[in-house]
Structures are given as C-alpha cells and as structure tokens.
Amino acid sequence: MVTHILKIKDMTPKEKATELVNKHFDFVEAWSVSNQLENAKQCALITVNEMLDFRNALYINEGSLAHQYLLDIKTEIEKITL
C-alpha cells in the first residue's frame, strides 16, 4: 500500500522526473531546445522542492520513504539531458 502511494501510477523516480520535466517543457520559453530543457528542469525542481516543503510542514520524518522518493526524483531531474 505505501509503495503504491509513493510511486504515483507505479512510477520510478526516474520516470516521475521525466514526466515532471515534460509537463513543464512546453510552458517555458528559451532561445534553444537545450536551454528550454534546462528551464523545464528548473521548474520541475521547484515543484519537487515545494512538495518537500509541504512534507516538512506536515512533520513527516526525513527518513521516510516519501522523503527519499522525492529526493530520488530531484536527483533524476538533474541527470536529464537531450
């Protein structure tokens, strides 16, 4: 049950990272595709940071599976390249 909740639509952190970047990609403007990707990655990182802040506000343990899942997504976002 917990694993299902943490893996939205049963997504790995890498899959979720890619989904978040893709969701932002069309909404950011840039002078090149590579710059557009970097802008989308920054937006995705902001999204994950907001989720982490919300988790902190709820006093969810930093060692929890939810916390680690979000940190793993951040790592995967940072790895995305063209």
pLDDT surpassing 90 at residue 2: no
Closest among 81, 75, 62, 72 to 12, alpha carbons compared: 72
pLDDT surpassing 50 at residue 1: no
CB 73 within 8 A of CB 18: no
pLDDT tens per residue across span 19-65: 999 999 999 988 999 999 999 999 999 999 999 888 777 766 666 78
CB 60 within 8 A of CB 66: yes
**What is the distance between the alpha carbons of residues 75 and 72, in angstroms, rounded to a whole number?**
5
- What is the pLDDT confidence band of residue 9, given thresholds at 50, 70 and 90? low
CB 73 within 8 A of CB 48: yes
- What is the pLDDT confidence band of residue 77, given thresholds at 50, 70 and 90? very high
pLDDT at 42: 96
- Greater confidence (42 vs 8) lies with 42
Name every residue whose Cβ is closer than 8 Å to that of residue 51 and which is 6 or more positions away in sequence. 70
